[in-house]
Structure 1
Amino acid sequence: MNVIYILLIVVAGMGLSFEAGLLGPLGEQVGHLWATLSIFGVGTALLWLIRHFTPHGKFTDWNSIPKWQLIGGLLGPIYVVALTLSTPILGVAMSMICVLLGQVTKSFAIDYFGWFAMPKQTTNPLRVLSLVFIFLALCFVYLGAQS
């Protein structure tokens, strides 16, 4: 495993927690859908600037892209709206552990079945145990919040 990529993803994950902490109060102030729109608007503007000032890579005609690959564009706003709605109620930690459980569960299925043109990965007892630990973390954080 390349440690630099692992660290990069850990830092990106920290960014998601930071974003969740921002989205909850923003959604309470301006409305949940407007909070989502503002997050995507700022992101779009930033990506447009980066794209404008960096060398252009290859671009494939939109018609040649399999339509199922564009579904990701629908999932991002759903995720952000869900965070905006749940974080003020559940808190950042509980929201992120719920996200983590969902991500890892679906990731194991994608790896195991080789969905979305990904290479198949075997599931072994250690991988299943890691999923159990994430579920236990969710239970412990939930119980800790109740006391």
Structure 2
Amino acid sequence: MTGDGLILVVEDSEEDTEAIQRALSRSRPLVDLEFAPRSEAVIPRLLDPAARTPDLLLLDLNMPGMDGLTLLSQLRAHTACASLTVVVFTSSTASAEEDACYAAGADSYIYKPVNFELFRTVLQGAVDFWLPREADGAVTAGPTAAPPA
């Protein structure tokens, strides 16, 4: 693993992309971030044998073209993508959408707060939970407890 891992962020909003970069730059400076502004590009990217496999996928639901829920369903249908950790990170608070995401195979569903400090705290908590740091070869965090709400 290089650094703190690779997070593939599926996000069309430039403001949210910048906020994610800012939120993680101090707490996880060694994490590599890769951004995909359109859902249609994600599966070909994940199936590319020459591309680095992400350790975590952050997925926005409200995307132009193919929405995040459709992408999530398609990801879980591919055996090569089935075990990828997918955290839905969205502004949608609709319980029906949350239920649909879990039914489609999301590992976690997290609401994007508007306030940047809360946004940063929520995002850092999710990344720390799903993307453990390695220190002296030992995992220091990970999915052994309940995922962040």
Shared topology, TM-score over 0.5? no
Larger helix share, 1 or 2: 1
Identify the TM-score tier after normalising by the shorter chain: under 0.3
TM-score, L = length of structure 1 = 0.27
TM-score, L = length of structure 2 = 0.27
Higher alpha-carbon Rg: 1
